[in-house]
């Protein structure tokens, strides 16, 4: 998401609740899309929309693409707005199934209620994300002069070499580099 990956927004920002929500919607998109693509017939039957299997599978592909867009993009905001548009399309399509004498009208009503619920989440998420990404981003503060060393870095290197590391924090003698005799290193024998 925007706050987390490399080369996107300024890094190091914590993942926010909205980012988590966006990711959840992305996953939901993909799962729902797969269901539509895999079982368009069952879905059409349940909604009394026989003959519209192709349309349902097509909508499934749209859901999957949007989901991938949300999860993979640098900024999910436009993709979430895409979901909002898709929701509107879904609702309009479902509304057509309410016309005439469809025996499955009840199921259609339930489906519309469910879509409306997700739509509310989508709108909320898209709005919050849009508000959260004011362009241009604030500039990164310049800390390149904060050395901490009044005498400069170069001068400070090893300035505390007078410090004696207490015994309990010292490397055991046998592990110290200078306890080994200064022998030249012969090349490794070929094995």
Tokens of 92: 């309009």
Indicate the SS3 state at residue 11: coil
Point out which span in 63-71, 101-109, 125-133, 163-171 binds another protein (CB under 8 A).
163-171
**Options 51, 150, 181, 184; binder of another protein; rule CB under 8 A:** 150
Q: Does 173 bind another protein (CB under 8 A)?
A: no
Q: Does 135 bind another protein (CB under 8 A)?
A: no
Greatest pairwise CA separation for the chain in angstroms? 97
Q: How far is the CB of 84 from another protein (least distance, A)?
A: 27
Distance of CA 48 to the CA centre of its chain: 37
**Options 101, 113, 163, 186; binder of another protein; rule CB under 8 A:** 163
Nearest to 24 by CA among 112, 115, 122: 122
The CB-based long-range contact list for 56-59 (8 Å cut-off, 24+ gap) reads 59/33, 59/86, 59/89, 59/90, 59/93
Tokens of 35: 């269901």
Q: Does 11 bind another protein (CB under 8 A)?
A: yes
Looking at the Cβ atoms of 134 and 177, the one nearer to another protein is 177
**Options 100, 136, 141, 181; binder of another protein; rule CB under 8 A:** 141
Point out which span in 2-10, 25-33, 107-115, 182-190 binds another protein (CB under 8 A).
2-10
> Rounded CA gap, 50 and 112, in Å?
17
Q: Does 189 bind another protein (CB under 8 A)?
A: no
Q: Does 165 bind another protein (CB under 8 A)?
A: yes
CA angle centred on 180, ends 178 and 185, rounded to 5°: 110
Per CB under 8 A, residues contacting another protein are: 4-7, 10-14, 138, 140-151, 153, 156-161, 163, 165-166, 168-171, 175-177
């Amino acid at each position: 998401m925007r706050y987390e990956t490399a080369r996107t927004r300024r890094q190091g920002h914590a993942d926010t609740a909205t980012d988590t929500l966006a990711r959840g919607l992305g996953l939901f998109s993909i799962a729902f899309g797969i269901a539509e693509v895999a079982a368009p017939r069952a879905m059409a039957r349940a909604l009394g929309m026989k003959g519209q299997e192709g349309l349902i599978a097509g909508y499934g592909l749209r859901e999957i693409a949007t989901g991938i867009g949300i999860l993979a993009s640098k900024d999910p905001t436009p993709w979430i707005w895409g979901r909002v548009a898709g929701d509107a399309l879904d609702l309009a399509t479902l509304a057509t199934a309410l016309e005439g004498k469809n025996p499955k009208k009840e199921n259609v009503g339930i489906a519309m209620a469910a879509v409306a619920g997700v739509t509310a989440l989508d709108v909320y998420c898209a709005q919050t994300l849009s508000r959260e990404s004011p362009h241009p981003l604030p500039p990164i503060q310049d800390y390149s002069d904060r050395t901490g060393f009044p005498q400069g870095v170069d001068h400070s290197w090893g300035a505390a070499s007078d410090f004696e590391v207490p015994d309990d924090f010292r490397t055991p003698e046998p592990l110290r580099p200078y306890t080994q005799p200064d022998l030249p290193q012969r090349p490794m024998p070929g094995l």
